[in-house]
Amino acid sequence: MIDFVQNTVDGIMFGSSYALLAIGFTIVFGVLRRINLAFGASIMLGAYAGTWLHVHYQVNVLVVALTTLVCTVLAGIYVERLCFRAIRRDAALASMVSSFVIWMQLEEAAVHLLPERTYAFPSFFVAGSFELGPFLFRGEQTTMLVLAALMVGALHLLLRHTRFGLALRAVSESPRAAAYMGIDTAWVMLCAFALVSLVGGVAGFAILATDEQITPFFGLWATFKGLIAMMLGGMGSLPGAVLGGLLLGVIEAHAQWYLGNEYKDLSAYLLLFAMLVLRPGGILGQRIHGREALAFRRV
C-alpha cells in the first residue's frame, strides 16, 4: 500500500511535466488545427544550447535554464515561420510533414553543436528531498511539480482573463470571424507558438534537470510523451492535457515499480491503445467535442 501511494505520488510529480508537453501540443492544435511534430525537437535544441554553455563555460544552472527557455522560444518561432506560416491554412498535412522534416533538421543541428551521444545536464531544485511519514519526496520532482503548477495556473489566468488569451481563444473558435473583428490572426498564431515553446522549455528543463543528462533523442521522447498525454486527455482540451499528463505519469510509475524499467514506456503505449479502442476522443475529449459541436450548431 505504501509502495502504491509512493508510486502514485512520484507519477503525479513526473506526470506534471508530461502535462506541460501535452499543453504545448493542445494549444497549437486548438489555434491551428494542426499538430506540430517538431515541438519536442525545438525543446531539445533549446536545452542543447543551454547544455553547450554548461559544457564549455560551466555556467550556473539558472543561466542554463534561461538559455534553454530563450532558445526553445526562438526554435518554436523558427518552426512556425517555416512550417505553419508559409503554408496555407487548409494545407494541414503539408504543415505536419514539413514539421517532421524540421524535426530532423533540428536534431542534426543539435548533433553538430555537441557531437557526443550523451552530455551531463545540471540538476536543479529549490528544496532538498524530504520525508513525510513513510513517503519520500525528491527535491527535483517536487520542484518539477511546483514549476508545472505555476505554469498551468499562469496559463489559466492568461487564457481566461486577459485580452490576449481571449484573442487566442477567439482565433481557435472562429479564425475568420476573429480576422474580421480586427484580430491579427497571424500574429496571434506566432504568439501561440512562442507561448507553448516557453511552456515546453520549462517542462524540458525540469525533466532534464531531474535526469541530469541529455541526448539528441530527447526531442523524440518529448514529442511522444506529449502526444500520448494529449491523446489520453482529449485533443484541444487544456484540462484534458493536464489530466492526460498526470495519468500517464502515474501509470508509468506503477509499471516501472511492479513490472520493471523496461515496461515503463510499453505501459504508456498500451494505455494509449486501450484509450483509443475504448474512448477514442480521450478522457475529456468526447464530452468537449460534443459540447462544442452543440455550441457551434447554435452559434
Partner 1 sequence: MLELRGLSKHFGGVKALDGLDLSVREGEIFGLIGPNGSGKSTAINLICGVYAESAGTVRFSGQVMNGKAPHERLRAGIARTFQNIRLFPNLTVWQNLWVAQNSPRDVAAQGFLSRWFGATRRTRRELAELLELADLGHKGDELASNLAFGEQRRLEFARAAAARPRLLLLDEPAAGMSRQEIEDLGGRIRGLRDSGVTILLVEHVMELVMGVTEQIAVLNFGKKIAFGTPGEVQRNEAVQEAYLGTSASDSGAAGEGA
- For partner 1, the binding residues (CB under 8 A) are 161-164, 166-167, 169-170, 173-174, 176-185, 292, 294-296, 298-299
* Cell 474512448, residue located: 279
Comparison of 12 and 191: residue with beta carbon closer to partner 1: 191
State in angstroms the smallest separation of the CB of 142 from partner 1. 30
Q: DSSP secondary structure string, 148-208? A: HHHHHHHHHHHHHHSHHHHHHHHHHH-HHHHHHTT--HHHHHHHHHHHHHHHHHHHHHHHH
Comparison of 269 and 296: residue with beta carbon closer to partner 1: 296
How many Cα atoms are found within 13 Å in the side-chain-facing hemisphere of 186? 7
The answer to whether the CB of 44 falls within 8 A of the CB of 222 is: yes
State in angstroms the smallest separation of the CB of 186 from partner 1. 8
Comparison of 3 and 184: residue with beta carbon closer to partner 1: 184
Comparison of 132 and 299: residue with beta carbon closer to partner 1: 299
Q: φ and ψ at 137, to 5 degrees?
A: -110, 115
State in angstroms the smallest separation of the CB of 238 from partner 1. 12
Q: Which residues of 253-268 are buried (b: 16+ CB within 10 A; e: fewer)?
A: bbbbbeeeeebbbebb
Comparison of 56 and 297: residue with beta carbon closer to partner 1: 297
State in angstroms the smallest separation of the CB of 283 from partner 1. 19
State in angstroms the smallest separation of the CB of 173 from partner 1. 5
